[in-house]
Structure 1
C-alpha cells in the first residue's frame, strides 16, 4: 500500500477514534488468539517435562524392602543416578532380601529399563528415560515449525485475506494440538508438534497484523502493549492449568479445543480495511468504514470517504512511476547487496535478534529447573514481562534506542553470569536475579522490534525485517536444547546466555542512533544514518 493510501485511511481512522465500540469489540476478538498463542508457544515445557526416575533393577524389585536401592544405585551430585546402576553379582536373595554384598560397587553399567515416579510427562509415557536429547528435541521441533508458518501464513494472508488466514491457522492449531494428545508413540508426538507449529503458529502474527491495521498511528503503541500483556496471560494460564490438571494429554485437549472457535471469525469478523484497499476492493472497505462509524456514533461525510474511492487511481500512478524508475536503475535487491553498510547492519541486527530469542526463551524454559515450585517459577518469569513492556515504552523515547539496548544486553549478561556464583542455599536470591535477567532481556527484545524497523529504508524495510525475524528463530529453535548443558554443569546455560548477551551489547555500538530521526526512505538515506553518527563523533 502506498503512503497516500495509508494517509487517506489514517485520516478516516483518526475521525473514528481509537477506542470506539467497533474498535474495542474487534480488538478483543484479536486478543483471544494472542492469548491462546501464549499457551501454545511454550506448552512443550510441561508436556515433556523432566521427572524423577531410576534404573529398574529386576533382580531386586520383588524384594520385601527397599534398603537395597542405596547399595544398587550410585550417587551422582548428591542424589541417586538416573542412568547407571552397580553390577549385580550372581547371587540369590537371602530370605527375599537384596543385600549390599550382592552388588559390585566398583563396576557401573548403563540402565536398560527404568522405574518412573508418579509425575506426569511424555517422558514416562514414551519411556524416554536418560534420553534427554529426545525430550528437549520436542521443543526444538516445535519452534522449527515457525520457519514454515511465518512465510506460509504471510502468503495466505496477503493473497486470501487476513481473517481467512487467521481462521485456517487456528483450525490447524486445534486439529494437530488435539491429535497430539492422542499420540501413541514418540514419532507421532513430534510429527504433530511440528505440524501444529508449521500450519498454526501464524495465527498470532496474523492477529497482530489485524490489530495493528485496525487502529490509527496513535493507538498502535498501546495496542501492541495490550497484545503482549495478553500473550503473557496465556503463558501464566498455561502454568496454572498444568499445575491443576497434572496430565499432559488432558492439558493439550483443554487448551487446543478453544482454538476451533476462532474458525468462526470467517463469518463474524470484518476483513482488514487496509488489505481490502491494497486489493482494490474500495467499495467493501467503505462499507466497513460506514459500519464502524455507526457503531462508534461518528458521522462520516462523502467528502471524508472520497479519498478512499480515489486510492485506486493514485495507486496506479504510483506503480507506473515506480516501474519507470526501476527500469532505469538497479533493482532494490541489487542496491542492498552493493551497500556494505546495509549488509553489515543486516548481519548485526540478525545476531541481536538471535540473542534475544535465545536468551528470552532459554530463561523461560530453564525456569522450571529453579529451586521451588516449577509452576510458580514459570508464572513469575512470565509475569515479569508485563512491567518490562511498559518500562520499554517509558525509556525508549527518553534515553534513545542504542543506550537502552546496550544497557539491557549488558545488564542481562551480568545477571545471567551472576547466577553461577549464587550459592544453592540462596534460592530466593537466585529467583530475584533470574527474574531481573528476564526483565532485562524482555526490554531488549521489545526494543529490537522497534529499532530494526528504523535502521532500514522504506523500500526494503519489510523484507529486511522479515530476514532478521526469520534468522532470529534460530535462537528460539536452539533454546529448548539448553537444558542439556546443565547435565555437564548446572550453571552452564545461564553462563552461555550471558556470553551471547555481552557480544550483542558490544555490537550495538556499531549501529547508529535513531531516536527523533526521520525514517529513511531510500538506501542512501539509511546509509547516511551511519555517516551522521561518524560526524557527531568527530564533532
Structure 2
C-alpha cells in the first residue's frame, strides 16, 4: 500500500490493520517535523493504542508477515446498527467496531455500506445527485462554444478563469465553510444561466452580454467543482472513503455524459441548453441540505464514528431549539 513518492495515509493504514507500515510513515513524519514533537515520542505504542481503541475488546488481531490482519465475526453478526435503518448501537459491541458496515469482508460490503442506513444513504445519494447535476453544467458550458462567433476565445477565457479560482478555493472554503460556498456558487450559476436563457428567448443576442453571463456562471460552477474535490472525501469515514470517492467520481462522469446530449439535441433552440443547465445547477445546490458541514470538524474513522457524530449534532440542535422555546423573549414581541 505504498506509492512511489507519496505515503498512504496513516489513518487508513491503521484502520486497515497495516500497523507496521503506519509506524514507518509516522516515524518519517516525526523526523521531518522533529522540532514539533518530543524526542522520546513512541510512535509504535501510539499506533497500537489507536488500533486497540478502534477495535475494542471484541476484535482479534494477529500478526502475519509483519502486517496484522483483522479476524471478522461470523456472517450472522451484521453491524453495529440494525439493517432496518435504525441508528441505535448494539449493546455487545464497542463503539468503533469494524464490521460489514465499514466495507470489510465480502466484495459487496463496501458498496452496500454506502446505503446501509438512513444517515449513510443521505450522504451518498445527496452527494451523488449533486455532483451528477453539477457535472452536466461543468462540461456543458465548454461544449456550448460553437454558439459564439469566436469559440477559441471563449474556450481560452474559460480556461483562464480556472487558474485563480483553484488558488482561492482552498482559503475561502476554510474561512466560510464548504456548504455556504457550494450553495452560493451553484445557486448563482443557475440564476445567471436562466437569465441567459431568458435573454435569448426574448431575442436579445448581444454576444458580449451573453458571453459575460456564461463566463461568470462558469466561474461559479468551476469553483463549486474545486470545492467538491475537497468536500466529498470528508463526508465519508476512513473505512469507506475509497468507496465514497468512487461514487463521487462515477456520478460526476455520468453528468459529463449527459452534457453532449443537451447541447447537440437542442442546437436549433439556443435558449434550451442554458435553461436546462441553470435548472440543474439550482437543483444541485438544493441537495446540499442532505449533507453535513465538515469544515473545522474531525473526520470520522469508522462507520460508528460517523453515526455518533450525526447523533451528537442532532442532539445539539434539539437542545438549542428547546432552550430557545423556553426563552421568555417572546414576551417582547
In structure 2, the residue matched to 1:354 is 132
Q: Given that residues 410 and 502 in structure 1 are in contact (C-alpha distance below 8 angstroms), is that contact kept between their aligned partners in structure 2?
A: yes
Partner secondary structure for residue 518 of structure 1: coil
In structure 2, the residue matched to 1:8 is 24
For residues 426 and 374 of structure 1, what CA distance do their matches in structure 2 show? 15
Higher relative contact order (CA 8 A, sep 6+): 2
Counterparts in 2 of 1:444 and 1:436: CA distance versus 1, 3 Å: same
For residues 150 and 204 of structure 2, what CA distance do their matches in structure 1 show? 15
In structure 1, the residue matched to 2:235 is 455
For residues 419 and 314 of structure 1, what CA distance do their matches in structure 2 show? 63
In structure 1, the residue matched to 2:297 is 517
* C-alpha distance after superposition, 1:46-81 (max 9, x if no partner): xxxxxxxxxxxxxxxxxxxxxxxxxxxxxxxxxxxx
Q: Given that residues 336 and 523 in structure 1 are in contact (C-alpha distance below 8 angstroms), is that contact kept between their aligned partners in structure 2?
A: no
For residues 273 and 30 of structure 2, what CA distance do their matches in structure 1 show? 48
Cα distance, 1:317 vs structure 2: 6.5
In structure 2, the residue matched to 1:156 is none
In structure 2, the residue matched to 1:400 is 177
Gaps of at least 5 residues in structure 1 are 18-305
For residues 135 and 206 of structure 2, what CA distance do their matches in structure 1 show? 28
* Residue 376 (structure 1) aligned to one of 145, 153, 170: 153
Partner secondary structure for residue 379 of structure 1: helix
* Residue 194 (structure 2) aligned to one of 402, 407, 417: 417
Counterparts in 2 of 1:531 and 1:9: CA distance versus 1, 3 Å: same
Between 1:397-406 and 1:524-533, the stretch displaced more is 524-533
Cα distance, 1:535 vs structure 2: 3.3
Q: Does 1:464 align with 2:244?
A: yes
Partner secondary structure for residue 452 of structure 1: helix
For residues 221 and 255 of structure 2, what CA distance do their matches in structure 1 show? 13
* C-alpha distance after superposition, 1:286-319 (max 9, x if no partner): xxxxxxxxxxxxxxxxxxxx98xxx9x9785764
Q: Given that residues 183 and 286 in structure 2 are in contact (C-alpha distance below 8 angstroms), is that contact kept between their aligned partners in structure 1?
A: yes
Counterparts in 2 of 1:426 and 1:505: CA distance versus 1, 3 Å: same
For residues 335 and 329 of structure 1, what CA distance do their matches in structure 2 show? 15
Aligned length: 248
Q: Does 1:507 align with 2:284?
A: no
For residues 306 and 179 of structure 2, what CA distance do their matches in structure 1 show? 16
Q: Given that residues 122 and 291 in structure 2 are in contact (C-alpha distance below 8 angstroms), is that contact kept between their aligned partners in structure 1?
A: no
* Residue 480 (structure 1) aligned to one of 243, 254, 260: 260
In structure 2, the residue matched to 1:190 is none
In structure 1, the residue matched to 2:121 is 343
TM-score normalised by structure 2 residue count: 0.66
Counterparts in 2 of 1:485 and 1:533: CA distance versus 1, 3 Å: farther
For residues 410 and 424 of structure 1, what CA distance do their matches in structure 2 show? 23
CA RMSD of aligned residues (A): 3.1
Counterparts in 2 of 1:317 and 1:378: CA distance versus 1, 3 Å: same
In structure 2, the residue matched to 1:323 is 71
TM-score normalised by structure 1 residue count: 0.42
In structure 2, the residue matched to 1:390 is 167
Cα distance, 1:487 vs structure 2: 2.9
Q: Point out the structure with the larger helix share.
A: 1
**Where in structure 2 are the equivalents of 1:240-319 lying within 5 Å?**
319=68
* C-alpha distance after superposition, 1:336-386 (max 9, x if no partner): 44312111211111111212221111011112322x311111111121111
For residues 337 and 495 of structure 1, what CA distance do their matches in structure 2 show? 32
Cα distance, 1:477 vs structure 2: 1.1
For residues 460 and 408 of structure 1, what CA distance do their matches in structure 2 show? 28
Counterparts in 2 of 1:327 and 1:349: CA distance versus 1, 3 Å: same
Q: Given that residues 352 and 448 in structure 1 are in contact (C-alpha distance below 8 angstroms), is that contact kept between their aligned partners in structure 2?
A: no
Gaps of at least 5 residues in structure 2 are 2-12, 34-42, 49-61, 79-99, 102-108, 321-333
Partner secondary structure for residue 338 of structure 1: coil
For residues 467 and 417 of structure 1, what CA distance do their matches in structure 2 show? 29
Q: Does 1:445 align with 2:232?
A: no
